[in-house]
Amino acid sequence: MRGIDELVELISDFPGVGPRQARRIVQFILGKDQTFREKLAAALVLIRKSVSQCTSCFRFADSSANGLCNICADKTREGAVLMVVEKDVDIEGVEASGAYHGRYFVLGGLIPMARQRKNGNGVRVKELMSRIEREKPAEVIFALAATPEGDYTAQEIVRDLKSLYASIKTTHLGRGLSIGAEIEYADQETLRNAFKNRA
């Protein structure tokens, strides 16, 4: 049972998956044939070998020789605009809308309101500031969740940004996104309107 329990524990770490759901997923995997299990194991090994984190935007993508993902390596993208998102999946939602053609930065989380700002938590505020210092974009768009923590994170970063680079325009997606909405679950039309009506 050690192998089963270990797999349950690992799957329990997935977002939105608790121990009971994890056990159901493991039972599903065990119920599939050997070919399926081998393909699943091979896919996990392939991800480890062929996927890396982009050295510019920090999203996970197929590895490339220069360390950049396909978006950061695309010279046709609008370099003067940088969109800050919380997680990789938010980029997929924005890209599907077709409303944005600039570059991205993945923060990797939000700054919790209940503790000292910028302590740990894996939020890449320093990395974002370094990138802005290097590239000096004309506009930084904050496309974070329409939640108190998303608003607080944007507010804290904008405050620091304005004290260093007063000339850089900072905007937020328009509230076509409802309060409490996650970017990854927004439909394409909502994202298009939110982008168009950013303030």
Q: What is the pLDDT of residues 1-17, one digit of tens each?
A: 578 899 999 999 998 89
Beta 60-62 vs 102-106: how paired, if at all? unpaired
Q: What is the pLDDT of residue 174?
A: 72
Residue 118's pLDDT is what? 46
Question: d(Cα 77, Cα 7) in Å, to the nearest integer?
Answer: 41
| Domains (range + CATH), the chain | 2-49 (1.10.8.420), 77-196 (3.40.1360.10)
Query: Distance between CA atoms of 147 and 169, rounded to whole angstroms?
Result: 22
Q: Output Rg (C-alpha) for the chain, integer angstroms.
A: 19
pLDDT, averaged across the chain: 87
Q: What percent of the chain shows pLDDT beyond 90?
A: 59
Q: What is the mean pLDDT of residues 168-180?
A: 76
Q: Is 115's pLDDT higher than 60?
A: no
Tell me if 69 sits within 8 A of 57, measured CB to CB: yes
pLDDT at 196 over 60: yes
Classify 135 as helix, strand or coil: helix
Instruction: Tell me what pLDDT residue 2 has.
Output: 76
Question: Residue-wise over 46-66: b if at least 16 C-beta within 10 A, else e?
Answer: eeeeeeebbebbbbebeeeee
**What count of Cα atoms within 13 Å lies in the side-chain half-sphere of residue 146?**
18
Q: How much is the pTM? A: 0.77
